[in-house]
A = this chain, B = another copy of it.
Amino acid sequence: MPADAAAYSASRGGEPFHIIDPEPFHRAFLDEICALATEIRAVAKTRDGRLGLQALLGDRRAMLYFTQPSTRTFLSFNNACHILGIRTSEIRDPSTSSEVKGESLEDSIRTFSSYVDVIIMRSAEPGLAARAARMMDSIARPVPIVNAGSGPDQHPTQALLDIYTLERSFAERGGIEGKTIGMMGDLARGRTVRSLCHLLRHYPGVRLRFLSPPAFRMRGDVRALLENHGIDLAETDSPGKVLPELDALYLTRLQSEYDGPGETARFDHARFGIGPDELRRMKPDAIIMHPLPRGPELDPRVDEDPRAMYWRQERNGMWVRVALLIRILGAVAEFRGIRP
């Protein structure tokens, strides 16, 4: 949604402010967040470091406004706040907030902004985070909006944690540049792979392989964007041939919550999934990522394989969100002060 993207201010005075879609994340920002997340993890290894992090934003408050239930993303953000001492208020069950339902999104967001320093929001409907950011840009005392997933369109912090996981995994192997990355599953509706594609164009030499049934292939807008950036891109509905050449495989589950009748039944999980057989055909140093929760496409026996990266990816998500909160709440310099 480029029109929406243009309509709110992603940055103020050159500093990032709202986090709505991955479009404005350029390479320098990605590198900065990755480096910051790694520094934070080092600091958090000691009790003194953890207490230092707690004090860093101990005078701030966050609102987690999750009208689309999501345990994983909620917990990741909530604990990222807690690591930094940020006090959290939450709306997770839309039915709890009968008054909010009766009022406009704009009035609800403005109300939240009266009480807290940052609003983290997730919705089933697309575009709500962008609308919230536009509302903030129209008032005298705005607070940053962080999009924690808005319908099937964008999920920018998931894209950041995916980049961070790739960056860490390939740190000793020349970085993300030049790697062959497969994306497999329901690519048509998986917002995580869509957002990740937006960011991978900043890494020269990356090759992308889309593995999906024809009915679930990546949409034209993303393919056009990648082609415009000269990314080496191939699509197939025969994963078997492509698996052996991948450095990373990003597996996604069927987004059945957006299904029309019969669509789930048409999806062949065995063919677009990973189990012991597929593992045998992959490179010994490939990594396997998944945004979780898993469906039948990811055999639990894969968990024991050292190439399974998805549990670390999940934990990386919390640290990337800690880094992002430090960054948009303007505490990078203070953070550097607590390093031993």
Report A's interface with B, CB cutoff 8 A. 47, 50-51, 54-55, 58-59, 61, 63, 69-72, 75-76, 78-79, 82-83, 87, 89, 91-93, 95-100, 102-104, 106-108, 110-112, 114-116, 139, 292-295, 300, 311, 314-315, 318
Contacts and interface: CB of A to CB of B under 8 A. Distances in A.
23 contacts: A54-B58, A54-B59, A61-B82, A61-B83, A63-B75, A69-B96, A69-B97, A71-B96, A71-B99, A72-B99, A72-B100, A75-B115, A78-B115, A82-B89, A92-B96, A93-B93, A102-B293, A102-B295, A103-B292, A111-B293, A111-B314, A114-B315, A115-B318
A253 to B, nearest CB: 9
A98 B72 contact: no
Nearest to A106: B300
Copies in the complex: 3
A107 B292 contact: yes
Contacts of A71: 91, 96-97, 99-100, 108, 111
Contacts of A107: 292-294
Contacts of A104: 300
A103 B294 contact: yes
Nearest to A70: B99
A31 to B, nearest CB: 24
Contacts of A108: 71
| Dominant secondary structure at the A interface | helix
Contacts of A89: 75, 78-79, 82
Contact of A114 (B78, B96, B110, B311): B311
A76 B300 CA distance: 36
Nearest to A74: B89
Given A69-B99, A79-B87, A114-B311, 4 more contacts: A47-B59, A72-B99, A78-B89, A114-B315
Contact of A58 (B51, B78, B96, B292): B51
Nearest to A100: B71
Given A58-B54, A87-B82, A103-B293, A75 B314 contact: no
A311 to B, nearest CB: 6
A314 B54 contact: no
A61 B96 CA distance: 23
